[in-house]
Amino acid sequence: MRLKVLASFVTLAVLAGCAGVEKPAPIDDRTGTMGAVAPSVEPVKEVEPEPAQTMPLEQKSTYYRPRAELTDSGRLHVVGQGETLYQVGLRYDLNPNDIARLNRIDDPTKIAAGRALKLPVGGKVTAIDTQPASETPSASVAASAVQAETASRPVSSVRHEVAKRPDSPEQIAQKKLQEQQIKREQAARGEMRIAWPVKGEVIATFEETQMGIDIAGNKGDPIRCVLDGTVQYVGNNTKGYGQFLIVRHNVRLPGKGSMPLITVYGNTSKVLVRVNERVRAGQVIARMGDSEADRVKLRFELRQGKPIDPMQYLEQ
């Protein structure tokens, strides 16, 4: 009996303990499906390159580029005393470095006076306008209007207008060089003719002075250089010459020696140029006077190593 009662108590205790235990949460096992599903991979799409950006035609662009190989323009410049390549470049609107390259000058700071420099056609870096011609209708209309106006005018009127345009500095310099070359060629043939230095009467001939000729005039009258050249000497109070000057010219007469031709202007009242100054034919270089003379006159001499009779070469 006691055993039955004890067994009943044990059974009740076990049942009570089981009633207090919570039921565990269900576990969803997915290990079986993970291995079966393969990851999805999207195909690689080819990316087309973006088109290169181009400059629209209506946009104006300006860029710089150097000129091509230097070209000899055929023009020459004779270097003056103390003149630099920089000054030559300014005179002709050229790059001094291009002038040096064309003439193969290693040291631009050392150029001898009297040297003839070749001048290039160009040499500067030039801005190039790439704007299409069709983008400037106003300019085209203006040009058409000018052409129409020119076409409607008489040919003689247009020619007269063109003839009135003054020469550019480059054209003037080129003409001077051509004139100098002609004078040198004429002198070499003995055919050179020179203008009179003053207007007046010859009062003493070469046979009388054995040095030159004397020309009468009025005090203060202009004395002009007879040829292009460089002032070599300016003197004062010299016996027989008074205040005078000597100009050296880059010409040589045949049979007169190898020295360059020089001209002498004496008995002046005032000298208007300085030593080493370059002078042109027809330029006023002094004023007539009577220094070291008994009257107003000009002592004019022509020399090439020794005196030459000026009357052989003065224009008749």
Structure tokens at 72: 């000899």
Burial of residue 249, with CB atoms counted within 10 A of its CB: 0-12 exposed, 13-18 middle, 19 or more buried: buried
Task: Return the closest-CA partner of residue 271 out of 250, 241, 294.
Answer: 241
Question: What pLDDT score does 22 carry?
Answer: 52
**pLDDT at residue 25 tops 70:** no
Mean confidence (pLDDT) of the chain: 74
CA dist 47 → 20, 40, 50, 51 (Å): 67, 21, 9, 12
Arithmetic mean of pLDDT, 272-287:
95
Q: What is the DSSP letter of 282?
A: T
Instruction: Return d(Cα 67, Cα 245) in angstroms, integer.
Output: 47
Pick from 7-11, 29-33, 157-161, 201-205: least confident? 157-161
Arithmetic mean of pLDDT, 55-68:
47
Question: What pLDDT score does 247 carry?
Answer: 97
Arithmetic mean of pLDDT, 164-177:
69
Q: Which of helix, strand or coil describes residue 216?
A: strand
Grade residue 110 by pLDDT with cuts at 50, 70 and 90. Answer: confident
Grade residue 161 by pLDDT with cuts at 50, 70 and 90. Answer: very low
Q: How confident is the model over 219-254, as pLDDT tens digits?
A: 999 999 999 999 999 998 788 899 999 999 988 887
- Give the domain ranges of the chain: 63-127, 202-312
Q: How confident is the model over 73-97, as pLDDT tens digits?
A: 878 888 888 788 878 888 888 888 8
202-312: CATH superfamily? Glucose Permease (Domain IIA) (2.70.70.10)
Q: In the block, which residue shows the tokens 């303990």?
A: 17
CB 220 within 8 A of CB 280: no
Is-same-fold flag (63-127; 202-312)?
no
63-127: CATH superfamily? LysM domain (3.10.350.10)
Grade residue 136 by pLDDT with cuts at 50, 70 and 90. Answer: very low
Task: Return the closest-CA partner of residue 248 out of 212, 302, 167.
Answer: 302
Three-state secondary structure string covering 132-181 = CHHHCHHHHHHHHHHHHHHHHCCHHHHHHHHHCCCCCHHHHHHHHHHHHH
Q: What is the CA radius of gyration of the chain?
A: 50
Arithmetic mean of pLDDT, 39-62:
50
Q: Residue 46 carries which side chain, given as an amino acid letter?
A: E
Helices (H), 31-168: 31-34, 85-92, 96-102, 137-152, 155-163
